[in-house]
Structure 1
């Protein structure tokens, strides 16, 4: 038997990281345990001297540029990297050097975004039983069944359970986001099994078992590294998966003519800030285009070329979305964490944690945890807390303006600032103006 690695983090990753100031929720702890079983034991990023046959490198403190380069140089395809404070922009440079595999969203128990990735998707996942996941697809009734011939033949050849259904659509040859979300919800309630939705113009070349092996709530491919594509979507059995699907349907119903990829992006942002949504970012082999390099070995091949009507309706529109999740991180336009209280009123508060870029990562993390705990212990009569991380003043302005438009009270805090336990109660007792206020309650 091999000896235990003296430098490895304890086998219970939640307890081990708690001793280092990291606060993790149950879902984040489960993901770390899965990483340690799948890639190898958890080791701190400070211990990279000797190569190992698979490991999960835990990065708690952001490395310098040279440190990030050194870390990436030591990684192999059998390694994974986990960042428990993934919401912090100080880790963006390291993330930009790696392939993003997945994230676990925030909650009151774990108010940080767990990020995990590596050099490339080389996960040693086995083929799973075909009956554990159902492939579903729909197409406009006006198109006819000939359009799904290749999809049906490929599913029959692989022996996968599937359901392909014609649906009534607003437009003759397009399934809208609302129609797609309603179809997936209907299939979910009919079958109860994990679902992989694929567009009708698709052919499967191998069993798409990655989402099943990862055991995630949701899986999607990010086109060009940032843009969610609604052509291939996985929804697990969890309540979080159903909530995401329901949010997507509601947003899509309100904006029926907006591009479906943008709508699923917005639904994901909202869901991931309110629950520990466990997301896997599918590799390109799950979203290959017919004829491109690598398509022969891909699991899922699409026959449609990307157009401005399908993957991004407006070239300028992309800039509004791209900055919101740079390097896989929620930006100022999207709250990191949304906490609902038991108050029946409509009074909400936005807390802006500013100057994050120049602050210590652990100090920023401690402030996030302190703010979450303070609101959970005494919400001060507020029905909702939205917490935004802002690196620069322009980010602060965006978050502040969004809060004012929503008629929220605004509180601005610096990382490391002392926070009284009754901070939200003291705000309620203060004046009723909607001016931005500091922790001492004064306008500025």
Structure 2
């Protein structure tokens, strides 16, 4: 795996030259605290100066191996040449007209690409927005308009955003929902097939979880009242949970049998992240609607709802949109990102990242009892940390691992309903040497727990 993209002048190396955070970052943090709302937190207390390939450099000259990609956003690498070229060309033409006032070709081109790339050979249409939460919220609007129903079904451990409706759809209280209610009504939560934590074990997890979910929907909501079932094919903030094989197809079939719009939330898992264009392809699941954002535009804000033409067209003219939705510069960046994904075959690169990461983490799991499970696909990999010999969540160990990595020059993220999962989302263009060096530091952190 070669070091591709992201500015050739940026050395692809881990380099720690000051304490973390360094003096310039500390000075900027003081300024941030005096002017930025306290609710806007930061995973690492360092301020970025440059980023590209597999590294992020801070204002003090420290260079961190990037195993986070801005939460799965810069999959093509930061400042990818195709993204920069196309966005810069568009900046010179115009920055905004509002697609609802005078449309432009870039918006149409992105929708054409989404029709080509998303699962299924049916006629598809798209609408473009700014963020993942906005996409999910609009998917619910579209499903309600199409079905004439109100109820929305979501799943344990799911995350769908921070707007009022998407907070209602999200399972985790802290930090996403705490103190922000009341939430939107007509949202119902059912079990998901979480193999590691399923009460009877992983073997019957898919069948039992699907049966429980369908039973709850049928008895507590009524299938005839459900507009949409919304699920992440790989649950992101819930802990990179891969539902047991067979669960997604069973839920999808139940939706089809009952006229329910099946929505795949691929905001974190889409665009080559799992080694396929979209994670739902792994079991051949074809959603009615699919929501995308994060990796779609190489770092610029863009999101989409793509789906069956007859469902997308159920909304009256003017019912979908927004001032900035499908911004022309973001659309140009998306076309550049998709160009890079194709030209570099980033699906293959994601699969190679899994080939490198999983065996090393599985060996570490044999050595360190704190690792309860290694899971994930492609470049969406996680370790769930537990009290050794149990399945009791171990958020303290998780925080310690992350802190060690950050101090040693490796950017990692934590996640999970119980705060006990270390997740890895490296740029798909990361050099293999950097990836292995980052894993060396993760193993040092795990050894330090002992």
TM-score by length of 2: 0.30
Q: Which has the larger radius of gyration?
A: 1
User: Which protein has greater RCO, CA pairs closer than 8 Å, 6+ apart?
Assistant: 2
* TM-score normalised per structure 1: 0.30
Per residue, is there more helix in 1 or in 2?
A: 2
